[in-house]
Amino acid sequence: MRHLDVDICIIGGGSAGLSVAAGAAQLGARTVLFERRKMGGECLNYGCVPSKALIASARSAEAVRSAPGFGVKADLAGIDFAAAVDRVDRVIATIAPHDSEERFESLGVTVVRSNATFTGPDTVEGDGVTVKARRFVIATGSNPAAPPIDGLDTVPYLTNETIFANRTLPEHLLVVGGGPIGVEMAQAHRRLGARVTVAEADRIVAREDPELTAVIRDRLIAEGIDILEGARVKRFQMSGETITATIDADGERDLTVSHVLVAAGRKPQIDGLGLEAAGVDHTRAGITVDNRLRTSNRRIFAIGDISGGPQFTHVAGYQAGIVIRNALFRLPAKVDYRALPWVTFTDPELARVGLLEAEAREQIGSSVEALTVPFGKIDRAIAEDRTDGQIKLVLGKRGRILGASIVGDHAGELIHLWALAMGQKLGAKAVAGMIAPYPTMGEISKRVAGEYYAKKLFSPWPRRIVRFLGRFG
pLDDT in tens, 67-110: 999 999 988 888 999 999 999 999 999 999 999 999 999 999 99
What gap in Å lies between CA 421 and CA 102, rounded to an integer?
Answer: 39
State yes or no: 182 annotated in a binding site: yes
State yes or no: 343 annotated in a binding site: no
**How sure is the predictor about 338, in pLDDT bands with cuts at 50, 70 and 90?**
very high
State yes or no: 108 annotated in a binding site: no
Helix (H, G, I), strand (E, B) or coil at 374: strand
Say if CB 284 and CB 142 are below 8 A apart: no
Q: Tell me which amino acid residue 170 is.
A: P
State yes or no: 52 annotated in a binding site: yes
What gap in Å lies between CA 176 and CA 44, rounded to an integer?
Answer: 23
pTM (two decimals): 0.95
State yes or no: 41 annotated in a binding site: no
Q: What is the pLDDT of residues 248-294, one digit of tens each?
A: 998 999 999 999 999 999 999 999 999 999 999 999 999 999 999 99
State yes or no: 229 annotated in a binding site: no
Range name among 82-96, 244-258, 421-435, 453-467 with the lowest pLDDT average: 453-467
| Cβ-based neighbours of 106, under 8 Å, separated by 6 or more | none
What gap in Å lies between CA 20 and CA 28, rounded to an integer?
Answer: 12
State yes or no: 251 annotated in a binding site: no
State yes or no: 184 annotated in a binding site: yes
What gap in Å lies between CA 58 and CA 87, rounded to an integer?
Answer: 12
Report the pLDDT averaged over residues 310-336: 96
Instruction: Please check the confidence at residue 396 and state whether its pLDDT lies above 90.
Output: yes
Q: What is the pLDDT of residues 119-137, one digit of tens each?
A: 999 999 999 999 999 999 9
Say if CB 320 and CB 350 are below 8 A apart: no
First and final CA of the chain: distance in angstroms?
92
State yes or no: 142 annotated in a binding site: yes
Helix (H, G, I), strand (E, B) or coil at 370: strand
Residue 224, phi-psi category: left (phi > 0), alpha (psi -120 to 50), beta (remainder): left
DSSP strand pairing (300-302 vs 129-138): parallel
Report the pLDDT averaged over residues 385-411: 97
Report in angstroms the alpha-carbon separations of 38 from 105, 179, 400, 452: 15, 26, 44, 49
State yes or no: 309 annotated in a binding site: no
State yes or no: 433 annotated in a binding site: no
State yes or no: 180 annotated in a binding site: yes
Please give the domain boundaries of the chain with CATH numbers for all domains: 2-39+100-143+267-327 (3.50.50.60), 152-264 (3.50.50.60), 341-457 (3.30.390.30)
Specify the DSSP element, H or E, that contains 196.
strand 195-200
State yes or no: 423 annotated in a binding site: no
pLDDT at residue number 350: 98
* Segments of 113-171 assigned E as strands: 117-120, 123-126, 129-138, 142-144
State yes or no: 141 annotated in a binding site: yes
State yes or no: 178 annotated in a binding site: yes
The full DSSP string for 426-457 is --HHHHHTS---SS-TTHHHHHHHHHHHHHHH
